[in-house]
């Protein structure tokens, strides 16, 4: 098997044996504009983000709530295409020392070409790509192409998955296994069932040595601190997209940056044991 690219190797190193969880931040490419999105991602890297997720805008984002869906629509209406996504990754990865991972639905990958997508990501400096709706019947083509390109294939583990499905997901994963903190779409701001999340992460750790990365429903720094004992990283998206969507310009970016700093601070606090009160 070809070796990992330097970017993919950096992601492996980042998530290995951390005393506190890493912070990943998500932003769709082309949002709020192509250049403003690149500037925002670069600013996030200086404000506490440990790795970046760059979203590929899609017209039917089934796992996403209204904020990220609206951001995708805005990016698409402004003409964002896969070339802009790859350019965003290339420009951000070239100016930052932290890993960058693409987050995409399956349809854009098929339309662009599976092998072409994997090779283009590797050339752009991406560490890998997560495809949350990757069909299990078509997974082999993507996994083979990504491994040939030397990039990671993080896998999304839906809370509804049974044991057989989880085994297939964890066997396909490299880089990390993504654990939704809730079964709701992105942008959920309600309470989290921490006991259920703890049990789910324990099931996954029994199946895989891959790092566990949590997202969806981690709406505040306090929520991040609650989830932190059970995972190796936390990814936030809607708390950053929301101010950029509803407060355009410098004020919205300032609010998003404040969010990154607050989440980073919450995760940098001394680690708590992985236990829960009754």
Residues 55, 114, 215: CA angle, nearest 5 degrees: 30
Query: What is the Cα–Cα distance from 180 to 186, expressed in whole angstroms?
Result: 9
Is 164 an annotated catalytic residue? no
With CA atoms as reference, report the closest residue to 34 among 113, 99, 111, 89: 89
87 cis-preceded (ω within 30 degrees of 0): no
> DSSP string of 109-148?
HHHH-HHHHHHHHHHHT--EEE-TT--GGGHHHHHHHHHH
Query: What is the Cα–Cα distance from 159 to 23, expressed in whole angstroms?
Result: 22
Residue with tokens 């407060």: 247
With CA atoms as reference, report the closest residue to 38 among 50, 48, 52, 19: 52
Contact 165, 241 (CB under 8 A): no
Query: What is the Cα–Cα distance from 153 to 251, expressed in whole angstroms?
Result: 35
Catalytic residue among 64, 67, 226, 232: 64
The residues with which 26 forms a beta bridge, in sequence order, are 53
Catalytic residue among 50, 53, 67, 226: 53
Helix residue spans in 150-249 (DSSP H): 163-172, 194-207, 221-227, 238-246
Is 64 an annotated catalytic residue? yes
Q: How many H helices and E strands in the chain?
A: 12, 8
Contact 194, 217 (CB under 8 A): no
Catalytic residues: 53, 64
């Amino acid at each position: 098997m070809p070796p990992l690219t330097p970017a993919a190797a950096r992601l492996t190193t980042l998530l290995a044996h951390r005393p506190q969880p890493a912070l990943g931040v998500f932003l769709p490419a082309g949002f709020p504009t192509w250049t403003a999105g690149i500037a925002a991602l670069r600013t996030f890297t200086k404000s506490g983000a440990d790795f970046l997720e760059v979203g590929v805008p899609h017209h039917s984002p089934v796992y996403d709530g209204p904020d990220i869906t609206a951001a995708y629509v805005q990016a698409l209406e402004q003409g964002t295409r896969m070339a802009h996504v790859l350019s965003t990754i290339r420009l951000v990865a070239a100016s930052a020392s932290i890993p960058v991972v693409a987050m995409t639905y399956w349809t854009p990958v098929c339309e662009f070409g599976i092998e072409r997508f994997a090779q283009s990501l590797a050339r752009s400096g991406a560490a890998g790509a997560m495809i949350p709706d990757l069909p299990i019947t078509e997974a082999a083509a993507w996994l083979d192409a990504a491994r040939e390109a030397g990039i990671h294939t993080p896998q999304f583990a839906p809370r509804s998955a049974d044991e057989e499905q989880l085994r297939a997901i964890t066997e396909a994963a490299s880089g990390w296994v993504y654990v939704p903190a809730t079964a709701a779409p992105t942008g959920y701001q309600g309470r989290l069932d921490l006991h259920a999340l703890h049990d789910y992460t324990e099931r996954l750790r029994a199946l895989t040595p891959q790092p566990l990365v949590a997202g969806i429903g981690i709406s505040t720094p306090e929520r991040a601190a609650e989830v932190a004992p059970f995972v190796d990283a936390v990814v936030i998206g809607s708390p950053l997209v929301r101010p950029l969507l509803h407060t355009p310009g410098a004020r919205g970016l300032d609010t998003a940056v404040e969010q990154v700093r607050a989440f980073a601070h919450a995760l940098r606090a001394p680690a708590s044991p992985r236990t829960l009160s009754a």
